[in-house]
Structure 1
Amino acid sequence: MKGMDIPALEVFVAAVEEKSLSKAAERANLVTSAASKRVAELERHLQRTLLQRHGRGVEPTPAGALLYQRAKAILRAVQLAESAVQVYSAEGQAKIRLAANPSTILQFLPDRMARFLSQRDYVSVDLIEAHSYDIPRLLIDGSIDLGIYHANHPATGVTSLPFATDRVGLVVPIGHPLAGRAELFLEEALDYDLLGYFPRHSLDQFLAYIGQTVTRPPTVKLQVSNFETRCRMIREGLGIGVVPERIAANYLSSMGLVLLRLRDEWAARRFFLAVRDPVGLSPVVAELLAFLSQPA
């Protein structure tokens, strides 16, 4: 063995922390004999006894205790180095993991991402579609670098910046009894079947979101997540639906639909741009954060 290697240090650290070579072997997915061999090779290389073996397990010698502290720092540095490299794709491009809800992806990101990427050949973006209520958790878990979500208030546990606002409206087919209305409260439309997939992604969550603004739940016979498909279903008379106004505008004339303004306060939505911690962001993630933070 020419020198200390990372797997041997990992087994040694585990043995000190677990006070047992067999438990250290379990942590490293090794058999006990293999874990013992790695520690023995480490001791042979350093020409020092690092662990005292006894009937109750193992404990570090003074030299072992010193190595344990240094090994922890080494392993942490290796972990940080691996994390740093992960921001690059296999081809060497800087990689950013961005999650956003469907409304954001359709309404706000195409133009902005086109402008951002057109000037940065060295960057690739993995754009992930996710529910707004999942995005803060994905940030906290480290599964994504940036997230855009909508909520009444910034989420806890992450750093959020104002990003955009929109409104949802009620889409009905031409000729529907409500089609002549310019605006209304959702309460006034509850006599008609409502196509699901709501701004909060399930009927129960939607009702919690809108609070006491309706006196009874809407009748929902069909759940449709895709906005275009939802509008097609509305055209076929299968119900009326809540759709972001900017997205609905793409389908009104071609599908014979009418968009009614919802007067409910919850129809106005706030979107937030978030990171887990703005300190220590990779340069490219910080660059995209600054770019998206600018007014559209």
Structure 2
Amino acid sequence: MDLASLEILVAAVEEKSLSRAAERVHLVTSAASKRISELERRLGTTLLLRHGRGVEPTPAGVVLYQQARVILRNVAQARDLLATYSSGGVPSIRLVANSSTVLQFLPKEISSFARKMPGARVDLLEAFSYDVAPMVADGQADIGIYHAEHPASGVISMPYRRDRIGLVVPVGHPLSRRKNLRFNDALDYDFLGNFPRHSLDEFLTLAGATITRPVRVRAQVSNPEARCAMVREGLGLAVMPEGIARNYVGRMGLVVVPLSDPWAERHLFVCVRDPQALSPQVKALLEHLLPS
């Protein structure tokens, strides 16, 4: 018995049709029918009864269908487990996170984890926050970190950290001496994107009624260092996480002014698909990331 034939049998029993089963496993109907016939020939018993309305399993077909489901599920679990290893057999953990987490927190987190578990390897992928949870739910990553107002659906999320959004201005700017301010108070000046949630439209949805006038965006700049360099040259102000901005303010002659808007404090979550199904290496990294 081969896995492909078992997969076709399972699909045929569940779909009650060879044509729909063939479509489900991406084969033409004649090829799927031939695979079932060959399986029946090798086993010496009829598995499916064919009739005008479709197919139905014989008692032998029911028994094999039940066992085939278990076999295919075990194979899928084995594949998922082996996906956590590199081509050289070294344990590999797939971690996906939004850019502000990658820049602010993960270098130290991954470095300290590597010292605790030198045999493990972390493959880090950067993605937008709204893509992180779906990637974990689909099995494209073992652990995800994202920011949101509420935990995402489809995954198990746990609090990770909080960060704050600040306003980056040049030294000597009229706003540079403020201890804090609302974003609305800075709207007399030009801005440089990228904003929280990245696009201006998404940011305006986030900020809601706290913004009462149009935001003038002079340029869209995703790279934080380039954005800070443009702030230094007087091309506009920037909104970014305070922890990222502090990497550049000292050497570029900039100031980070805290924003007092409610949306300026962000909640970061770490998520997994199923905490009970994690490999030992993934579970160790998850425990390392969670606040003690």
Q: When the two structures are superposed, what TM-score results if normalisation uses the length of structure 2? A: 0.91
Paired residue for 1:222, among 211, 219, 224?
219
Task: Decide whether aligned partners of structure 1 residues 154 and 31 sit closer, same or farther in structure 2, where only a CA change above 3 A counts.
Answer: closer
Deviation string for 1:84-126 (max 9, x for gaps)? 2212121111121111111111111111101111332332112
Paired residue for 1:192, among 171, 186, 189?
189
Matched with 1:264 is 261
Task: Decide whether aligned partners of structure 1 residues 29 and 247 sit closer, same or farther in structure 2, where only a CA change above 3 A counts.
Answer: closer
Task: Decide whether aligned partners of structure 1 residues 57 and 157 sit closer, same or farther in structure 2, where only a CA change above 3 A counts.
Answer: closer
Matched with 1:275 is 272
Matched with 1:71 is 68
Matched with 2:35 is 38
Paired residue for 2:145, among 148, 166, 180?
148
State the distance in 2 between where 1:166 and 1:11 align. Answer: 50
- Please list, as runs of the form range in 1=range in 2, the aligned pairs for 1:1-296 lying within 5 A after superposition: 4-295=1-292
Mean Cα deviation higher: 183-192 or 246-255: 246-255
Paired positions, count = 292
Contact 1:193 1:239 in 2 (8 A): yes
Query: CA offset at residue 281 of structure 1?
Result: 1.4
Query: CA offset at residue 242 of structure 1?
Result: 0.9
Query: CA offset at residue 174 of structure 1?
Result: 2.5
Deviation string for 1:155-195 (max 9, x for gaps)? 33332222222222111122323233332221111000111
Mean Cα deviation higher: 99-108 or 115-124: 115-124
State the distance in 2 between where 1:162 and 1:28 align. Answer: 39
Query: CA offset at residue 231 of structure 1?
Result: 0.2
Contact 1:207 1:217 in 2 (8 A): no
Amino acid at match of 1:151: A
State the distance in 1 between where 2:250 and 2:118 align. Answer: 38
Query: CA offset at residue 275 of structure 1?
Result: 1.6
The answer for unaligned runs of 5 or more in structure 2 is none
State the distance in 2 between where 1:21 and 1:209 align. Answer: 50
* 3-state SS of 1:184 partner: coil
Deviation string for 1:58-81 (max 9, x for gaps)? 322222222222222222222222
Task: Decide whether aligned partners of structure 1 residues 150 and 18 sit closer, same or farther in structure 2, where only a CA change above 3 A counts.
Answer: closer
Identical pairs, percent: 59
Mean Cα deviation higher: 253-262 or 100-109: 253-262
